[in-house]
Structures are given as structure tokens and as C-alpha cells.
Structure 1
């Protein structure tokens, strides 16, 4: 069987939007080749081995690689994808001098190509993301392992926004918390919250493919009993009062439901958000403060930020 490797070269800011667009076309195998991987400061205390070849990485931005069966529909898909990416400009997303290309691959080449970008990665003091095909043993007693199959997932924990979100969850989640994960994607944040002691996690996504992926990943990590995954538009279908709302999506969408988040949270509940490009930091902070949130901290990695905000008095 032949496969089409679709390669979108774009900016760091546009990566999440491009990835979501690809999944809208039901493309289920996505990998990221980030130019910043070559210069990123890394911690080796958990035994990770990094052997990166500069020739495999772009000189700027990110290569978003997606894989789909090669057939007569691919050219039409490329045209629709190009139009979708161009429309991101209307949302204020910088797509840069982007390009979309396509390569033909044999099935054996495809299956090994996207796997080579995924290895166990330490995300924080406790979390390590491990691809399902890798053998891995805990390096310390408190380490928490999240197993993911990137072939069926939106996000694998390797993107800065996911790392920042998990770090905030690690710091603020308490035993027995009710957590809502808005835009769950792969379910990685919902799984992390459950492993940290949340008694119940509501994981929502508009995309039925994401709902299926998050459901499978919850089972894979033995957290399905705590996680309820369902298709939902932001917080519209949530009737309970959460202790924490976590969301790793675009800044514009976060601000569009920040009032709903404030209203839904219990007193002193937390709104943990990421997916925010640095240039929108001031806008998001002003929006949160106007809604009544108190900013607890802002974490930064590369061009991305994550915000922990507490619900103040109404």
C-alpha cells in the first residue's frame, strides 16, 4: 500500500491550528519536526538519550507531517488544506512563508518514519510521556508515566503547550478534585489529572476522532474509570462545578469562554490555560482580570505561555 506524506512548513504559532485542520480531514498520523529541538535545553537526570541529526530538521519553524493513504482524493485534500491554512490569517494567526508538499511512501517506510520522532520524554519533575511501542522503566518512585500512541492522538506531550499544561496540573491538582479538560485532543491532560488524584475528569472535544482517541488512551493508561470523554462545545454541556478547568487551545478561543469558565468554577477554583502564543499574553491577562480571575503565575517556554488563574469573588 502507498501512503501520502503531507508536509506543512509553518510557524510555531500556527502548529496547533494546522494540526487540528489535518485531523478535521480525518488524517490520523501526525508528527512534528521542530527547528527548536536542536537548541532546546534538556535535562538528562531521568536518563533520556537525545541523538538529533541537524539535517532532519528545518532551519526555521516546524514541519507538520501527516500521513494518509495515497489515492485519487489526495490532490483535492491538499487544495482544501491550503485554503484552510490561508484562512488562519483572518484569525490573526501568523502562518509565515508556509508551504504544503506531498511525498509518496511505501507502508513500511511510513510506519517507521513517524515512529522515529517519538521516544520517552520527561515533561516535568514527575511526568514522562512514553510511546506505546517503547520499553521504559520508572527512573524514580514518584514518576508518573503516560502511555500514548501518537498514531491515533492529537498531541503527544512533546509540544511546549502540552508540557506547560501538565506542569501546571502537577502543581495545582489535589486529591479528589473534579477537573474539566476543554479540547482534550489525545486526552493527555485528562489522563495526567486522573493520575495526579482527581476523582473525576470530564474530557470534552468537538471532534469525534479526538473523542475516540482520548477514550482509547484513557483505557491504555488505566484511567478510564475516572475519565468521562464526550463530544461537547467548550463548557456548554458541563453541568457540574469543577475545581479545575484546564484547556490547551488557541488564545482567541480561551478568551471566548473565559466568562463561562469563571461562572462554572467553584469559589477559588482554577483556570489553567495554554496554547497561548507570547504576543497574546497581555490580551489574555487583561481578559482574565476583567472577568474576575486572579493571575497566580505565568509559565513560559519558547514562544508559548501558560497561565494559572484563580476565581476571585464575583
Structure 2
């Protein structure tokens, strides 16, 4: 199959950069793409930055309509927000596509001992390293994004061996794999995207973890719908508004005194998320910020 690389280049003020990247990513998601490549914004003036988000569109009978929709949505974004968008299109075949997106991912050291290794990269583990072999495919969560990296750091810091772990919006399954390798006895994940569920299951198997039964389970579900037990540590690396929606029900799946790690939060919405979690019976015990993204650790009140 032929593919069309679609890049949306955006320019905005530096304080709005992460929000702009999130909004551009949402354009691709609204068109049905399950994953994109986001290049970090770079300064172009004293207060301005330029970034790019790339998606790959199949060249089929729907391409012209998809391309038109993409252009219309990018134009609408520029009209509603302080973001100037331009589009770039580059044809590529199967082989180009297979190599193009892989070029963006490298071996990464995260936290004290976690190493994320894309399956096509070589790495010789050092003593004590927790190596996660990952093929992100079209699912979010490779460790390259600050929100994923911060979640991994918090899982490494707060997960007690032998406890139960749940990941809401599991994407590539990276947090599930990390939790299991760090000693969790029970590891569950949920995602509302069937593609992500499939990719997560494949990544679990790459790391010697097989979903099925109560010890390891991955489900397609909307947030925690269908989760019928409570966990010691729950992660949710999802958008701010989705965390707010999740907060009303998440206490049901966190044991009293258990922890909820939330990321995917942009700084302007941090106060909104914290207020909602507090109102739903959680105490914020830790905050971490990277590049205007926020990760919160909250304890469910006993």
C-alpha cells in the first residue's frame, strides 16, 4: 500500500506550545489515526516556537476527502487559537513508511533504572537496568513524550513489589510492562482503542508477559467501565478533561490509601484537575513538571 506523510507545521507563542501540539494531535485523532509522531517545538523568535506533528494516511479512495478534512480542521484551529498552521505532504511507499516512523525513536534511560528499547535498536543492559522492549506501532506511549516519561518515573518510585497495578488508557502498554518488571503481582490495562489494545498485548508478549486471567489483563473499555476490583496504584496518562471525567469513578478502583498517578495535564489546567481530584477524595502528594506538562500523584483518603 502507498502512504502519504502528512505534516502539520505550527507556529505559536512558547507558553502555548504544548497546548498547540496537543490540539494538532487531536486533529489526526479526530480523523481516525491512532498515533502520530510529535517533534519537539524549537524557538524561532524571542517568544515564538515552531513544531510539527506527523501522521501517515493510506492512499485509498478516501484520501482526497481525508486530506480536505485535514486542511479544513487545521484552518479552523488557526482561526480559533493563536496558532498558525501549514501543511506538508510527502508520498511514501510501504518500505518508506516502515522506516520513517522508526527513525524518531531511540533507546532511552528514564528514572533510575528504566530503559526503553525500541525493538529495532541494539542495547546491552547494565546491571540493575529494567529494560522494556517496545514496538509502539500506532499507539501512544514510547517514553519519548514527557507525560509518559514522568509516569514511568512515578511508577518506579511508588510501586511496591507484590501490589496490584492498573493503567487507564494504556496505549502501547509501556506502563503495564514497567509495573510488571518492577514487581507488581497484578497488572491490568484498559483502553478504548482496539488498535491500542492489540499493540499493548503484543508488546506485553515481547517482554514475556502474557495477558489472560487475573494476574495480567488488558481490556477494551471506556475509562474504568468494566473494571470490577481495586488496585494499589493506578495510572492515567490521558488528557486533562478526561482525567476530570475519570475522577468521579476512579475512587472505586483505587484501594483506600492507594495512589493515582495522572499525567497528560498541561499547566494551565493543573488547578482544574487538582480541584476535581480533591473534591473526589484524593490528596495531592507530589507534583512534577516537564516542558509545561504536569504529572500528579494523589492518594485516596482512607
- 1:137-148 aligned within 5 A: 137-139=124-126, 141-148=127-134
- Structure 1 unaligned blocks of 5 or more: 40-53
| CA apart distance, 1:25 | 4.7
Q: Give the match for residue 34 of structure 1.
A: 40
Q: Give the match for residue 117 of structure 2.
A: 130
The secondary structure found in structure 2 opposite 1:287 is helix
Q: Give the match for residue 103 of structure 2.
A: 116
Q: Give the match for residue 250 of structure 2.
A: 261
Count of aligned positions: 290
Q: Give the match for residue 161 of structure 1.
A: 147
| Compared CA separation, residues 71 and 264, structure 1 to 2 (3 A) | closer
Q: Please state if 1:197 is matched with 2:186.
A: no
Q: Give the match for residue 46 of structure 1.
A: none
- 1:178-189 aligned within 5 A: 178-189=164-175
The secondary structure found in structure 2 opposite 1:274 is strand
| CA apart distance, 1:68 | 3.2
Contact 2:77 / 2:83 at 8 angstroms: preserved in 1? no
The secondary structure found in structure 2 opposite 1:234 is coil
Q: How high is the TM-score relative to the length of structure 2? A: 0.86
Distance 2:77 2:259 in 1: 30
| Compared CA separation, residues 85 and 249, structure 1 to 2 (3 A) | farther
Contact 2:283 / 2:298 at 8 angstroms: preserved in 1? yes
| Compared CA separation, residues 15 and 177, structure 1 to 2 (3 A) | farther
More strand per residue: 2
Q: Deviations over 1:245-291 (max 9, x none)?
A: 10000111101121311233111011100000011111111222222
| CA apart distance, 1:8 | 2.2
Per mean C-alpha deviation after superposition, the further-off stretch among 126-135 and 79-88 is 79-88
| Compared CA separation, residues 233 and 299, structure 1 to 2 (3 A) | same
What is the CA RMSD across the aligned residues, in angstroms? Answer: 2.7
Q: Deviations over 1:174-231 (max 9, x none)?
A: 1121111111111111111111111112110111111111111111111225431110
- Structure 2 unaligned blocks of 5 or more: 11-16
| CA apart distance, 1:24 | 6.1
